[in-house]
Chains A and B, each alone.
Chain A
Amino acid sequence: MSMTTTQPAARAVEVRKVYGSGDAAVEALRGISLDLAAGEWTAIMGPSGSGKSTLLHVLAGLDTPTEGNVFIGDIDLTTLSDKQLTQLRRDRVGFVFQAFNLIPTLTASENITLPLDIAGRDVDKSWFDTVVNTVGLGDRLHHRPAELSGGQQQRVAGARALVSRPEIIFADEPTGNLDSKSGAELLDFLRSAVDDPRQTIVMVTHDAHAAAHADRVVFLADGNCVHEMRSPSADAILDQIKSLEA
C-alpha cells in the first residue's frame, strides 16, 4: 500500500459549465473530473477556448459549475452560499492573477497581509518574515505597487497567497505579463514554496517553460481532460501541445 493515497487538496467531479442558454449556449466544461494532489504543483494547459481558465475559476470558488461537484479538502463548494464561498477564499485559498494583483493604495507589506487583515486574523510574524525573505523584496516592502517592477509586483502577489497558509494556491497566468527573467524568478519562488512547506499550487498557463516547473501538467481540450504528464520537460510539453493543435 502506498503512503501517498492521502485525500486530494481539491477535486472536480463530473463538472459541466455552460454559459448562456438556448442557441447561444457555450459548453466550457464537459463533465471534467480531476484530482489535485496535496503538496503538488499542477499546471493546467490547453489552447484558448479549452476551458482551462473556467476550470480554475470553478475550482477556486470564483464561479459555480452548472453540474457536478467541486471540493476543496472535504468541503463541497457547490453547497456553499456566496458568503461562505467568500470566507473559503479568504481563509483556505490563495490567488495569483496575471495582472492587477495588488491594491494600489496599500504598501507591499500591507498587500501581503491583506487576506489576514480582512479576516481580522493576526499575522504570524515569523512566517511572514520567512515568506518575505523568500520573495526577496528587501527594502521595498514599504513601497506602493506603482513603485515596484512587474516582477516584484507578482512576487508580492505570491507572498500574499502564501502568507495565510492556504490549503491551495490558484495562479492564473502568473507570468503572462512578465519578461523571461522576472518570470523565472517568480517560478523559482513558487517552486520553493512547493518544495519546502509542501504548498499545493494549481496554475493555468500557456507557457511551456512555466509549466515545466510544475510536478504535473494536465492538458485540456474542448472542456475535457485529454492528457497528463509528470515532471515533463518544456520540449515534451511543446510536442504535446503541437499534437493537440494538429
Chain B
Amino acid sequence: MLRATLKSLFARKLRLILTALAVVLGVGMTAGSFILTDTALKSFDNLFGDVYKGTDVVVQGTTAFESSGQNNTGGGSERQPIPASVLPKVQAVNGVASAVGSIGGTAWIVDPNTNKVIQNGGAPPIGGSWDVGTTTLQIDPGDGAPPVGPNQVVIDAGTAADHGISVGQQIKVVTIKGPAEYTVSGVAHFGASNSLLGATLALFDLPTAQKLFDREGEYDTIYVKADSGIDPNHLAASVSSVLPKGYESITAASAASQQQDQVSQGLGFLRTFFLIFGFVALFVGAFIIFNMFNIVVSQRTRELALFRALGASRRQVRTSVLLESIAVGLIGSILGIGLGVILAFGLKALLGALGLKLPPTALAIETRTVVVSLIVGIGVTVVAAWVPSRRASRVAPIEALRESSTPDSSIRRRVIIGGIVLALGIAAIFAALFGGAANPGALVGLGAALTFLGVATLSPLFARGLAAVIGRPFRRTATGRLGDENAKRSPRRTASTASALMIGLGLVAFVSVFAASLKASAVKTLDEVLRADLTLSSNQFNPFSTHLAEQLRQDPNFSVVSELRQTEAHVGPSNTDTFPVAIDPATFAQVADTTMTSGSLADLSEPGAVLVSKNEADSRGLSVGSPVEMTFSATGAKQLHVVGVFENNVILNDYVISIATYNANVEQPLDQNVFLKYAPGVSQTDAKAELDAMLQKDYPNVQANDAAASKQQFLDSINQLLAFVFVLLFLSIIISGFGILATLWLSVFERVRELGLLRAVGMARVQVKRMVRIEAIIVAVLGAILGLAIGIVFAWALQRSLSNLGITELSLPVGQLIILLILAALIGVAAAILPARRAAKLNVLEAISYE
C-alpha cells in the first residue's frame, strides 16, 4: 500500500508541487519570523558583549522595573544618578583596579548635509561620556582622538560613514540642554562591526557630558575593572557594601544579560507579530490542502475502490491518503524553511523601510526553528487531509465498477456543524471584545479562525446563488455561460477554493475598515479636543529636549506654551505596564478641551494627584478620591489619588499626572509634544515663519504643525502601519491565488473530455482560455465578497468594543473595498493563466478518443 501511495504521489509531480506550495509559504513566514528575530537577538548579544568587554562590575541606581522598550524615552530604563562622592569609596574597595564614572543620555546628531536629526526608527540616539580607561570603543589610527574640552565630540563610525561626517568637521548635536556646535575629534567603533543597530553615538569628555546631561557632581554609572585574579561576583558583593541605599553593584555579565532580556522582550513582540501572519498563511494553506486532497480523492475513487476490492482495509486506504499528506507536508516544510531564509531578508528590508535597521549579521537558523517549522507544516497538512482521508476510506469496493463518485455528505450535517462552529467563533469574539476576557488577543484570534471555518463550512449552501449573481454579467456569451456553469457545478469545491481567498481578503478588509474608523475617530476627536494653534512634535514621535519649551516661553509671539510628556510606569496591585502622560494643569486647558465626567482638571495641581480615563476608571472601579499606586522606574512606588475622570481622547493616555509629579520621578525629562497658542495681535504667518526658522536652525528634529498638519501627521503614521500589515497579509492572498490555480488545474484534468468536445465543435483556444478565466474570476470574487462581509463585521465589532476608547466612528472606505474586489478579480485572472493555457493546449483527438 505504501508503495502504491508513493508511486501515485510521484506520478503526479505537479499536483504534489501545487499542494506543497500551500504549505511552503506559511511555513516560510513562520521560519522567517524565527530566523529574523533570532538573528537580531544574536547581533544584540554581540553588541552588549562588546559594550561591557573592558568592565567587570557595574554600579548603578536601582530600578523598580525594566522598561518594556515600548516607550520612546530614548534611553533604557530610568535610574537615579550616583553622587560623585560614591566614586572614591568604590575605588578604595579591595580588588578594584580602576573605577570611572560615566554619563549616559540622549543626544541627537544633526546631519550637516540635510540639517535633519539622524534617528533610525526606534533605535536610540545615545549621548554620554567618553569613559577613559574602560571604554571598549576604539578609535583607529587616523580616525582622530578622544574628545577633550567643552567643544569636542566623538561619534560612531557607522553614523560618520552613512552621513559623510569626517574628523575635524563642525557638527550640531542636540541634547536636553539644547543644540550646540562641536568639532568631531574622532570616529570610534565597537570591535569588528560598525553596527550599533541603528543607534547613534555622541560622546563628550566627562565634565562636558555632566553639564550637557544635567549631571553635575553626579554619574549615571560607575564602571569597575577588577584586579587580575579577582572574581567579578565576589567584587560586586564587596563594592555593594560601600554603596548607599538605592544603588546596586552587579557584574558586567549580568548587566549585559539584563539589557539582552530587555531587547529579547521587545523582539518577542516583533516575533509574535510576524508569527501571526505566518499562522494566517498556514490557515489559508490548510483550506487549499483540504480542497486538493478532496478533489484528488474524488478523482481517485475508482482506483481506491479497486484497492478495496482487492482486499485493502478502510484503514489502509485512509493511511495511504494520510501518508501522502505527510509526504506533502514534509516537502512543503523543507521548502518552506528555505523560503524562510529568503523571507527573513525580506522582512528585514521591510523593517528597514520602517526605520528599524538590523545589522548585516549571518542569519541564525536555530534547531528550534527547523523543528517548529516541520511540526507546524506537517501538522497542518495532516489535519487538513483528515476529512478527505476519511472520505477516501468510505469508498465502497463496488464503486470501482461504477461511473459516479461518492455522494456528498448530507447538507443537514454541514449546516449543523458549520452553524455550531460559526456560533462558537462569534461567541469567542464577543467574549473577547466585550466580556473582559483574560487574554483577549488569543481569544479574538481563535474566534476569527472559528468564524472563518464556520462560514467556509456553510459557504457551499450559498456559493451557487452568489456565483449566479457574480456570473450574471458574463452569461451573455457562450464562453461566459460555460465558465459560470463550471464555477457553479461543484459548490463545495468552489466554496472551499473561495474560502481560502476569503480569509486573506477578509483580514485586509478588516484592517482597512478598522483603520478608516480609527482615522475618522481620531480626526473627529482632534477637531473636538485640540485647541492649540500649533503642535510641536518630532519626526517618528520620538521625544525631544524640554529646553525648546523653555526657550519658547520667552518668545513674545506665543501666549501659551504647554508641554506634554510621557513616561512608563506600573500601576495597581498587578503592576500593569502603562504610559502616563504628564501635563501642566494650568495651561493644558487652554490648548485642549478635556471632557471631565467627574472631578476637575485644575485639581491635578495638587501634590500626588492623578487623572484617570473613563475607560480605565470603569474597568478598575476608580472614582474621585480612589488611591492609585504608581511605580516609576527611577523612584519606585508612589501613592497617588484620583482627582478626576475624563473621556478618553487621542491626546491623553489612561493616566495623566502633572509635570511636577513627572519631574519628581523621571530622571531625564523629555517633551513628547509642546502645544502653542499665538499671542493676541501678532501676525500668525510671521510668527510661524520665525518659529520654523528657529526650529530648522536649532531643533531640526522638531516640527510645528497647525491643526490640519497634525491630523495629517497622525494619518500618515496610521497609513504607514497599514501598508506594513498589507504587505504581510499579501502572502496569504498569494497562497489563496495558488489555491485557485491548483483547483482549476485539477478541474481542467477532470474535464479533459468536455474541453475536447468543445474544441471539436469549434471553440477557439482563446475562448477556452476565456472560459477558464471567467470561472477563476467568479471564484475569486465570491471569496472576496465573503471576505469583505466578514472583515466589515469584524471591524464593526472591534470598533464597538473600543468606542469608549474614543474610536466612536465606523467608517467604510468604499473606494478601498472596491479596489479589493478588483484585486480579487485580478488574482483570479492571474491564477487562471496556467490552467487556461493547459486547457487550450489539450489535444482534441486524445481528449475525445474513447478508451
| Inter-chain contact B757/A63, CB cutoff 8 Å | no
Q: B844 near A118 (CB under 8 angstroms)?
A: no
For residue A226, give the distance in angstroms from its CB to the closest CB of chain B: 24
Most B CB within 10 A of own CB, among A86, A99, A115: A86
A89-97, A131-139, A234-242: which lies at the B interface? Answer: A89-97
Q: Is the CB of A86 within 8 A of B850?
A: no
Q: A117-B478, A117-B481 given as contacts; is B763 within 8 A of A90 (CB)?
A: yes
Find out whether the CB atom of B758 lies under 8 angstroms from the CB atom of A95: no
Interface membership of A30, Cβ < 8 A = no
A103 touches B762 (CB 8 A): no
For residue B531, CB closer than 8 A to chain A, the reply is no
Q: Which residues does chain A contribute within 8 Å of B482, judged by CB atoms?
A: 103, 105-106
B839 to chain A, nearest CB (A): 14
Q: Is the CB of B481 within 8 A of A110?
A: yes
In the complex, A120 has a CB within 8 A of chain B: yes
Pick from B489, B753, B850 the residue with the most CB of A within 10 Å: B850
Q: Chain B residues near A105 (CB, 8 Å)? A: 482, 485-486, 488-489
Is there an interface contact between B477 and A86, defined as CB atoms closer than 8 Å? no
Residue tally, chain B, CB below 8 Å to A? 26
CB pair B485 A106 closer than 8 Å? yes
Cβ-closest chain A residue relative to B752: A100
Neighbouring B residues of A110 by C-beta, 8 Å: 481
B764 touches A87 (CB 8 A): yes
A127 to B569, CA, bound (A): 88
**Closest CB-CB distance, B792 to chain A, in whole Å?**
33
Q: How far is the CA of A82 from the CA of B850 in the complex (A)?
A: 23
Contacts of A98 in B (CB 8 A): 850
Q: Which of B753, B754, B765, B848 has most A Cβ within 10 Å?
A: B848
| B760/A62 in contact, CB under 8 A | yes
Q: Mark B744-765, 1 if CB is under 8 A from A, else 0.
A: 0000000001101111111111
Q: Which residues of chain A (172-192) have a CB below 8 Å from chain B?
A: 173, 176
Which residues between 433 and 491 of chain B lie within 8 Å of chain A, taking CB atoms?
477-479, 481-482, 485-486, 488-489
Cα A119 to Cα B477 in complex, Å, equals: 9
Q: Judge if A49 is at the interface, Cβ distance under 8 Å.
A: no
Most buried by B among A57, A87, A103: A103
Decide yes or no whether B845 CB sits under 8 A from chain A: yes
CB atoms of A99 and B478 under 8 A apart: no
CA distance in complex: A229, B481 (Å): 45
A57-B845, A62-B844, A118-B767 are contacts. A99–B850 as well, Cβ < 8 Å? yes
Contacts A83-B764, A86-B762, A117-B481 given: A101-B757 contact, CB under 8 Å?
Answer: yes
Residue from the list A57, A82, A115 in contact with B762, Cβ < 8 A:
A115
Q: Which residues of A contact B479 (CB under 8 A)?
A: 118
Bound CA span A126–B761, Å: 22
CA distance A212 to B512 in the complex (A): 72
| Residues in A lying within 8 Å of B, measured CB to CB | 57, 62-63, 82-83, 86-87, 89-91, 93, 95, 97-106, 110, 114-115, 117-120, 160, 173, 176
B→A interface (CB under 8 Å): 477-479, 481-482, 485-486, 488-489, 753-754, 756-765, 767, 844-845, 848, 850
List 11 interface pairs A-B (beta carbons < 8 Å), by A numbering: A57-B845, A87-B762, A87-B764, A97-B850, A103-B754, A103-B757, A105-B485, A115-B762, A117-B477, A117-B481, A118-B764
Task: Knowing that A89-B762, A95-B761, A103-B485 touch, tell me 14 more A-B residue pairs with CB under 8 angstroms.
Answer: A57-B845, A62-B844, A62-B845, A83-B764, A100-B753, A103-B482, A105-B488, A106-B481, A106-B482, A115-B761, A115-B762, A117-B478, A118-B479, A120-B478
| 4 residue pairs, one from A and one from B, having the closest CB atoms | A90-B762, A117-B478, A105-B485, A100-B753
